[in-house]
Amino acid sequence: MRIKSIEARRFGALIDSDLSGLGSGLNVVYGPNEAGKSSYTALVRHLLYGFTDKRRAERHYEPADGVRAGRLEFDLDGSLWTLERADGKGGGDPVVVGPNGPSNAQDFLSRVRGGVSEEVYRAVFGFGLAELAELESLESIHSHLHATVAGLSVNPRDAYLGLEKEAATYFKSGGSAQPVAKLLRELSAKRKDIRAERAESEGAEADRERLRELEAQVNRAGEGLVGERARLAEVEAALAGVAQIHDERVALERSEVPEVQRKLDVLRAAAEAIVVDEQVLARLDELNELVARLDQFESARTQLASSVQRLNELDSANAQAILRVGEGWDAASVAAVPVGGQVEDAAEQCAQDYRRAVDVQAEADRVARLAREREVATRGAAEKAVAAIGISYEPGVNSVVDQRIEAIDRLLASAGSAARGSVLPLILSLMLSLAGAGLTGWAVLEREWPVAIVGGAVLLVALVLAITVARRRHPADVTAYLDILGLVDVPSGTKGLDIKQALYVARDVLKDDDEASTVAVDAERVVADARAEVGRVEKECSKILTPLGLGAVAADPSTALSILRRVREAQGLAQELARTANQAIKLRAQCKSFAHRAVQTGVELTDEQEFSEVAALVRLAVERARDSAKLAGERNEAQREVLVTEKELARLSQRLQGIGSRITETVEGVQLPDVRTLADLEAIAGELAREVERLQGNYDEVRDERARLAERLTAVADDDTLARMSLQESAVIEQMREAGEQYSIRAVAAQLIGTTLRKYERDRQPAVVARAASLFEQITDGRYGEVLSPLGEFELTVRGEGVPARGQDQLSTATAEQLYLTLRLAYLESLVGPESALPVLMDDVLVNFDEERRLETARIIAEFASVRQIILFTCQESTLEAFSKADPGHTSLSLERC
Amino acid sequence: MSDSVRFVHAADLHLGAPFKRVQAADSRVSDALLVAGTLALGRIVDLCIDRDVDFLLLAGDVFDSATPHPSAQHAFRRAMEELNTAGIPVYMTRGNHDPGDGRYDWIDLPDNVRVFSSAQVERVLHEREGRASCAIHGWSFPSREVLDNVAKRFRRDPGDQIAIGVLHANVGDREGWDPYAPCSVVDLRDAGMDYWALGHIHLPEVVSAETPVVVYPGSPQGLDPGESGEHGCFLVEAGPGNATAEFVPTASVRWETVEVDMSDVFDAQGVRRQIVSSCQEIREGSACPVILRIELAGRTAARRLLTGADLTALVEDVTAEQMERSPWVWIDRVTNHTRPAMDVGALLSDPGFVGDLMRDVQEMIDAGQAASFVQEALESYLSKVPTEAQPDIDAESLLIAARDAALDLLVQGGE
């Protein structure tokens, strides 16, 4: 890779300047002060990495006007490439043109830069005396070189120390003020509290177990207490039982038995004193049955009396009804009339039909009379009307009038037509005929046959026309019309109209006359029909009423209907009379039956006694029977009480016999050992009472303890102290985790940097430093043969044969610069990647060197230039001379002062 | 048996469990956490009563310990008594956290609670109106560590019209969960149940929607930041050969972890804006208060703003503001997982020191030496701090974070 030219469009003091003709290998560019040597060196970096941000603390080479811009030409594998850049956003966009035209700038730059960062470039590939001068101590040189060669902006050692310091703010071994240590103490305290609380909680569990035991104890004690109480109660009951049995025996012997015996004697006497009429008593059920039917008997008797009274009333009413039917009617004839709704409905229908037929006949008579009156009136008018036109009224007069009307109409029409006609058409037709004849004659004479034909045709047409016109002017039938009308001449207009009007009037009157005749005939026919209907109805009624015995009044169906209704009334009364008589017979039979039953039951009745006395006699008999029954009941009760009392006396005797053995059984029933007597029982009762008292005390004590424990457990159940403590513990642990994470990241980062640094020093620095030492020895002509860099330290020490080791403060400025330069060259030499091809620009770095060391340094640089392009700027002719000696074939260029 | 039964399936209440990995410095947060477990249980009870279920199934780890604290036991008993009053039976198993070998017995539970035996799989007939409505097969952990395939002991009885299995187990060898009572979905299917009421995994999941329906209800209340998202129980309608399960949330506090991208953030205002925006988004997606962990991510030039006191002050300020909103959001922790704003991969080919450092880290990771390196670097710290209080970060991640911290200093100069 070779930079062929550097062109500055605008960069610092450089305006449209360029440095061209640069060759591969060593290029020494001479230029006085203000020729732009530093600017060209910086411009290459800016073009490769972008124009610097103005916020960065360095020189930016701002032009007086316009923006920074420049261009580089590269020879890359024999091809020409250009890189242009103008200041802009992000350092300005690079524009790259290759042998085939525009190309991807980033790809090109990556290839050219070979992964070298800008920082590295500044330190190693494009530096001047200013950069060397910034390195004021060996330590800083060394560190800076470490940092910059590694692409770093800070010293790894500083980073390492900074991280360790930061880590120590979180945790420090043996420290007590750091957060982790504080949190550890806090965690320990929390856990102690939690353990105490848990112990208390477990105490609560123990309490709960104890509570369960107490529950069991309470239950056992309760059960024991209940058992002992039951035993005590049993013994006490036994004691009480014995005493009660003794008292019972005394009571029996002295009181109860004698008293029952006395009661028995009294009862026996009373039972014997009661006498009962057994005969009467035997009929008591029958009498009771009779009494149960007594109301029924009384009801029948009352109804019988009512029926008899009603019979009398009906008999009288029936006789009156038969009389109302009419003369000649008696009970038998009335009863013979058939009964039933159909007969009456037929008679009713008959009467209605007769009334309707009579009404229709009357209406027909009225209508016929009116028709006849109208016929007479219209006949007179018609006779007058035909007489007015000279016609006599006789059959066929209507057609005569119609014939005359037609004649007058036609006559009047013919007269009008003749009046409207003219003789002109007739004359013209005749003239045309003459012309035709003349033409035909001339043509025949002249033998002009076609004209003769035409003339003949004209003649023929004219003759037809003349005949037609003549016929229309003289109609042939006018005369006939005049004959019909009996006229001689055609009447004038007014007269003709009068005749016509008279004829029309006559026709209308004749029409009315015809219609009146027709109506009169029709009315007569209706009257005949109505009379026939009346006759038919009369016959029908006769058929219906005669079988009912009403033939005599069949001609008057209404009267017949009235008689029929009265017959019905009489028949109804006769039927009710029969029903009432039957009812009275039945009631009387019932009463007699009851009286007969009463006699059979023992009631003293005679045939003469009325039914009204029966009830009282029956009641009296029943009363007597019931008295006997009551006495019988009293006697039975007395006998039952005697039996009961006898049993009671026997039971008391048995009790007296059993009381002795019961006392023994009661004592033995307690089932306690060694308890045979009442005294034993009393002794054991005392012991049991004392045991019950002791058990009660135990029970109360256990129950109280249980209550206290339950209360404590309830308090524990609602206590969230442990949960709160656990939450606080969690918070402390989380804080520890956070602090621990912060610490861990920093501590591990510091360890990481330290480890890498140690490796870096071990693997790389020795070779770099050894090469730097070799170069330094060459430049100093063997004065300093060693450059030392102790592992893990960042200081360089130089030493030579006979020269003691010297640190940074013991070296002169020029010697230090020589050392810095050799370190750079050694680092450059250690690079083996694509970055090794990147050209190196040095800006007057040999200015402070003495002649010998300058020459030797020039030789070393010339040697480096054999594998890469080096562009060295200088303002000293001595430096030019040194390079001329070191590499006579180098490219020499010069710059003018800007 | 009846055609179908309705029941609530819950598990892993872990009553009495301390909430871990949280800094509940605010009393509102600590108070909410202290009652969260009991509240979730109360919501389950309310659901049972409101929906008039036939019974409640609890598939293990009702308590966090075989010998739970009395307060946890009393809270549970009160809830069970409430169900007893409502006439709702409870069938429960013991899980690996509350096995049957505790030092003390649990306090007496009301008669409606049936705890399945540890000796063998029990078959209990649930009766409704005096008639068996379904068969519930269950088994309890006798001790904490059970590594047998217990699911194979379950078998549907020919007389079971509806069969339900209740088991606390790790189905499908799920990583991150104890491998207790391990089994497969095939094992569960072979048992012939209509519904498997599982417990053990704390995140709700319908393992199989086909018959048999297999469900992990998850913990009704998330117990730590790892149990993010909704937590609750399942309301199940099961019939012969079919079952439907509907998730019902019960948690009163929600855990969430959100990653916040800091790629486009350059200053403190941007950091605050991003964090506040994340809090707002989380609040809008939750019906209950949220304990939030924020992981800052992305390549950003603002990494130096995301550490130390500056970040702590900013987070405290935002948290105070978020706690005043409803529902409140408590920012429990902000973790900086951002990466330097540089092409870290490209640095691997850097010829200088940074390249060496990058390659050293990569070589350590490739050679599996990250842990030993970290162990050596933190030897003093690790020997002092108990394990549970040490950072929850693996060696490789720590090494990467440390590398990035070094790059921040070395390349960007700690700007």
Q: Which alpha helices (DSSP H) does A553-677 contain, by range?
A: 557-601, 611-669
CB count within 10 Å of CB A850 equals 13
A349, A773, A827 from A807: Cα distances, Å:
168, 14, 21
Whether residue A138 is predicted with pLDDT greater than 50 in this model: the reply is: no
CB count within 10 Å of CB A495 equals 12
10 Å CB burial of residue A34 (0-12, 13-18, 19+) is middle
Q: How far apart are CA B242 and CA A20, in angstroms?
A: 90
SS3 B113: strand
Q: Do A718 and B351 touch (CB under 8 A)?
A: no
DSSP 8-state symbol, B171? B
Q: How far is A201 from chain B (nearest CA, A)?
A: 7
Q: Which carries the bigger pLDDT value, residue A725 or residue A397?
A: A725
Specify whether the CB–CB gap between B123 and B192 falls below 8 A.
no
Q: Do A726 and B19 touch (CB under 8 A)?
A: yes
What pLDDT sits at residue A137?
Answer: 38
- Give the distance from CA A204 to its chain's centroid: 53
Q: Which carries the bigger pLDDT value, residue B96 or residue A679?
A: B96
**Closest residue by Cα to residue A205 from B78, B72, B100:** B72
What pLDDT sits at residue A141?
Answer: 47
Extract the tokens encoding A694.
């002791």
Q: Which residues of A touch B103 (CB under 8 A)?
A: 205
Low pLDDT (below 70) residues in chain B: 1-2, 412-415
Whether residue A835 is predicted with pLDDT greater than 70 in this model: the reply is: no
Q: How far is A749 from chain B (nearest CA, A)?
A: 4
- Determine the average pLDDT of the residues in A84-111: 90
Q: Which residues of A touch B390 (CB under 8 A)?
A: 736-737, 740
CB count within 10 Å of CB A32 equals 13
CB count within 10 Å of CB B68 equals 26
Q: Do B353 and A149 touch (CB under 8 A)?
A: yes
What pLDDT sits at residue B191?
Answer: 97
Confidence band of A140 (pLDDT split at 50, 70, 90): very low
**Closest residue by Cα to residue B334 from B243, B262, B407:** B262
- Determine the average pLDDT of the residues in A591-609: 77
What pLDDT sits at residue B287?
Answer: 93
Q: Which carries the bigger pLDDT value, residue A288 or residue B41?
A: B41
10 Å CB burial of residue A561 (0-12, 13-18, 19+) is buried
SS3 content of chain A, % helix, strand, coil (to 5): 70, 10, 20
**Closest residue by Cα to residue A490 from A501, A498, A482, A480:** A482
What pLDDT sits at residue B415?
Answer: 38
* Digit-coded pLDDT (tens) for A357-369: 888 888 888 988 8
Q: How far apart are CA A862 and CA B249, in angstroms?
A: 82
Q: Which of B39, B409, B411 to mutate to test the interface with A (most CBs of A within 10 A)?
A: B409
Q: How far is B264 from chain A (nearest CA, A)?
A: 18
What is the complex's ipTM, to 2 decimals? 0.91
Residues 303-362 (B) with a CB less than 8 A from some CB of A: 307-308, 332-333, 335, 349-357, 360-361
**Closest residue by Cα to residue B74 from A204, A203, A725, A718:** A718
Whether residue A349 is predicted with pLDDT greater than 90 in this model: the reply is: no
Q: Which alpha helices (DSSP H) does A326-448 contain, by range?
A: 331-336, 341-388, 397-420, 424-445
Specify whether the CB–CB gap between A479 and A334 falls below 8 A.
no
Confidence band of A682 (pLDDT split at 50, 70, 90): confident
What pLDDT sits at residue A791?
Answer: 41
Confidence band of A339 (pLDDT split at 50, 70, 90): low
What pLDDT sits at residue B413?
Answer: 47
Give the chain A residue nearest B404 (alpha carbons).
A749
- A152, A205, A835: residue with CB nearest B410: A152
What pLDDT sits at residue A680?
Answer: 78
- Give the distance from CA A296 to its chain's centroid: 79
Residues 30-59 (B) with a CB less than 8 A from some CB of A: 30, 33-34
What pLDDT sits at residue A837?
Answer: 80
Q: Do B402 and A205 touch (CB under 8 A)?
A: no
Q: Which amino acid is at A412?
A: L
**Closest residue by Cα to residue B73 from B97, B38, B47, B32:** B38
Whether residue A272 is predicted with pLDDT greater than 90 in this model: the reply is: no
Interface contacts A/B by beta carbons within 8 Å: 213
Q: Which carries the bigger pLDDT value, residue A771 or residue A344?
A: A771
Extract the tokens encoding B374.
């970290």
- Give the distance from CA A6 to its chain's centroid: 81
What pLDDT sits at residue A180?
Answer: 95
Q: How far apart are CA A408 and CA A416, in angstroms?
A: 12
Confidence band of A475 (pLDDT split at 50, 70, 90): low
- DSSP string computed for B189-210: HHTT-SEEEEES-SS-EEEESS
Q: Do B391 and A733 touch (CB under 8 A)?
A: no
- A724, A744, A752: residue with CB nearest B378: A744
10 Å CB burial of residue B382 (0-12, 13-18, 19+) is middle
A152, A722, B95, B104 from B69: Cα distances, Å:
59, 9, 17, 11
Phi first, then psi, for residue A394 (nearest 5°) are -155, 170
Q: How far is A757 from chain B (nearest CA, A)?
A: 8
Q: How far apart are CA B102 and CA A198, in angstroms?
A: 15
Q: How far is B413 from chain A (nearest CA, A)?
A: 6
Q: Do A150 and B355 touch (CB under 8 A)?
A: yes
Whether residue A794 is predicted with pLDDT greater than 70 in this model: the reply is: no
> B41-46 contacts: CB < 8 A, separation 24 or more?
B41/B13, B41/B15, B41/B75, B41/B76, B41/B79, B41/B220, B42/B79, B43/B220, B43/B232, B43/B250, B43/B252, B44/B8, B44/B10, B44/B79, B44/B220, B44/B233, B44/B250, B45/B79, B45/B82, B45/B83
Q: Residue A778: in which H helix or E strand, if any?
A: helix A765-779
What pLDDT sits at residue A48?
Answer: 93
B367 part of contact set with chain A, CB < 8 Å: no
- Determine the average pLDDT of the residues in A214-238: 83
Q: Do B398 and A744 touch (CB under 8 A)?
A: yes
**Closest residue by Cα to residue A789 from A151, A322, A143, A291:** A143
- Determine the average pLDDT of the residues in A344-356: 82
A231, A239, A364 from A668: Cα distances, Å:
14, 11, 135
Specify whether the CB–CB gap between A266 and A694 falls below 8 A.
no
Whether residue A170 is predicted with pLDDT greater than 70 in this model: the reply is: yes
Residues 754-773 (A) with a CB less than 8 A from some CB of B: 755-757, 759-760
What pLDDT sits at residue A476?
Answer: 54
Whether residue A709 is predicted with pLDDT greater than 70 in this model: the reply is: yes
- B376, B391, B413: residue with CB nearest A154: B413
Q: Which of B71, B365, B369, B392 to mutate to test the interface with A (most CBs of A within 10 A)?
A: B71
**Closest residue by Cα to residue B40 from B17, B68, B6, B70:** B17
Q: Which carries the bigger pLDDT value, residue B182 or residue A372?
A: B182
Q: Which amino acid is at A325?
A: V
Specify whether the CB–CB gap between A109 and A48 falls below 8 A.
yes
Phi first, then psi, for residue A893 (nearest 5°) are -130, 165
Give the chain A residue nearest B103 (alpha carbons).
A205
Entry field: residues in chain A: 898
- B73, B103, B378: residue with CB nearest A747: B378
What pLDDT sits at residue A700?
Answer: 87
Q: Which residues of B touch A150 (CB under 8 A)?
A: 350, 352-356, 410
Q: Which carries the bigger pLDDT value, residue B84 or residue A636?
A: B84
* Digit-coded pLDDT (tens) for A735-762: 999 999 999 999 999 999 999 887 876 6
Whether residue A843 is predicted with pLDDT greater than 80 in this model: the reply is: yes
Kindly report which listed range (A203-217, A634-648, B35-49) carries the lowest average pLDDT score.
A203-217
Q: How far apart are CA B249 and CA B235, in angstroms?
A: 10
- A184, A202, A733: residue with CB nearest B384: A184
Q: Which residues of A touch B311 (CB under 8 A)?
A: none
What pLDDT sits at residue A871?
Answer: 96
Helix and strand numbers, DSSP H then E, in chain B: 10, 17
What pLDDT sits at residue B142?
Answer: 96
